[in-house]
Chain A
């Protein structure tokens, strides 16, 4: 039957703190990963991506870390602002396979930033 009553992981931080959002992936063949931000009632927005030949990539106020050994991805947001409050999704794909751009999305984490 349908999965009902699922509760997303949540992270509450104070404005100005650093935030770390984690994601575990299961497909060891995945070699490309994306983080998306989704505000309430809107479509996801691309934040940052990383390929499996890297273990760290930095953007503006964001850093993605990839640990292929334990199949773990994290998104670090520096100096978190109230506008960062949203649901954050990781997505994975096997870019070298036959998935034709098919992304598999994680469940998401709710980030709430308190002023």
Chain B
């Protein structure tokens, strides 16, 4: 089955700890994206990557970091600098950044206390 996987589905961390969220795709897509979703709100773009070893900040990149060492993988690290990290995090991919249909993973719900 082709698709995007995110793990874990639920993640709990103590304040002040960095945490890395996993995103893997086997769709052979070049572009990958990370979004944050808060209750009652739409999706906000954190980072995106057009190709391997390249990524750009989205609208709310502060307190987050990413890497894109492999085409299939685009992990997101939520650092202790992120003031309000508790949220639902969604990873997406598209064939390229010129193709706008994005396929989403199931999401990771991060709770920081």
- A residues bordering B, Cβ < 8 Å? 2-3, 5-8, 32, 34, 36, 41-46, 49, 89, 93, 95, 100-103, 105-108
Judge whether B42 and A105 touch: CB under 8 Å. Answer: yes
A7: B residues at CB distance < 8 A: 40
For chain B, the bracket of interface size reads 20 to 34
- B residues bordering A, Cβ < 8 Å? 4, 31, 33, 35, 38-45, 48, 50, 56, 58, 84, 90, 92, 94, 96-107, 109
User: Chain B at the A interface: mostly helix, strand, loop or mixed?
Assistant: loop
Nearest CB of A to B11, in Å: 14
- Name the residue in A95, A101, A103, A107 with the highest tally of chain B Cβ atoms < 10 Å from its Cβ: A101
Closest 6 CB pairs of A and B: A43-B104, A101-B97, A105-B42, A6-B40, A100-B97, A105-B43
**Which of A3, A5, A46 sits near B101, CB closer than 8 Å?**
A46
Instruction: Please judge, given known A-B contacts A49-B101, A100-B97, A101-B31, whether A43 and B106 are in contact too, CB under 8 Å.
Output: yes
Judge whether B58 and A42 touch: CB under 8 Å. Answer: no
CA gap between A3 and B44 in the complex, in Å: 13
CA gap between A82 and B71 in the complex, in Å: 38
Judge whether A34 and B101 touch: CB under 8 Å. Answer: yes
**Which of B48, B84, B99, B104 sits near A44, CB closer than 8 Å?**
B104
Of all chain B residues, which has the CB nearest A43?
A: B104
Nearest CB of A to B94, in Å: 6
